[in-house]
Amino acid sequence: MKLQLAIDELSLEQALIQVDKLKQYIDIVEIGTPFLIDAGRKAVEQMKRKFPELEILCDAKIMDAGAYEAQLAYDAGADYVTVLGITDDLTIKGCVEQAKKQGRKVMVDMICVKDFATRIPALEELGVDVIAVHTGADQQQAGRTPIEDLIEMKKYVKKAQIAVAGGINSKTVEDYMALQPDIVIVGSGILNAVDPVHEVELVHRLLTD
């Protein structure tokens, strides 16, 4: 299982400092959507330049102009780009075609997708690489967790890798590990911990033991 560090609320300078401290325990650095809005593609460029050994995910949450927006992310150095599962198939197809041109990957964010049974086979037919359970921050505040969606998703995913995000930390990660996702995404659970290095070490140890 890969560990993806989701960075949303830090400045670019703060993010580079934190990743330098945590890099030995993580596999993928996510330039989260708020971070991307704040720092732009420069965040992708600088993160990839400073940490070439890590994979970089640009959480663009593409909803339209799939090929062009994916190209913007890949040209900046992203290894993965995200597209929303609720968008049009043509948009997702554009992302996939651009990814294949550049030898990169597409992750589909399933936030707000209701019908997994219908949507997941269609996404796999389009050739996406990763399908991600995502329980958003607003949904988490209302008491929802990703575990139910992950259980449901496992019924339908046949070819793509599976990622899961939404309030995961060292105290809850084992619940998700039991369902064997390919990528576990942790953000505030690490970055807002009293000791982020200790927290990421705990999560990493649990994922690799």
Buried b (16+ CB within 10 A) or exposed e, 2-32: bbbbbbbebebeebbebbeebbebbbbbbbb
Q: How many CA atoms lie within 13 A of 67 on its CB side?
A: 7
Number of domains forming the structure of the chain:
1
Residue 160 and residue 129 in contact, taking contact as beta carbons nearer than 8 Å: yes
Neighbouring CB atoms inside 10 A of 107's CB total 29
Interval 136-140 mean pLDDT = 73
What CATH code is carried by the domain that includes residue 80?
3.20.20.70
Confidence of residue 143 (pLDDT cuts 50, 70, 90): confident
Give 122-177 as a DSSP string. Answer: HHHHHT-SEEEEE--HHHHHTT--SHHHHHHHHTT-SSSEEEEESS--TTTHHHHH
Residue 22 and residue 201 in contact, taking contact as beta carbons nearer than 8 Å: no
Confidence of residue 95 (pLDDT cuts 50, 70, 90): very high
Range of the domain at 103: 2-208
Q: What is the largest CA-CA distance in the chain?
A: 44
Neighbouring CB atoms inside 10 A of 79's CB total 20
- Which pLDDT tens digit goes with each residue over 155-196? 999 999 999 998 899 999 999 999 999 999 999 999 999 999
Buried b (16+ CB within 10 A) or exposed e, 109-132: bbbebeebeebbeebbebbbbbbb
Cα(201)–Cα(209) distance, integer angstroms: 12
Tell me the C-alpha to C-alpha distance, in Å, between residue 27 and each of 56, 132, 195. 9, 16, 19
Confidence of residue 145 (pLDDT cuts 50, 70, 90): confident
- Asked whether residue 103 carries a pLDDT value surpassing 90, the answer given is yes
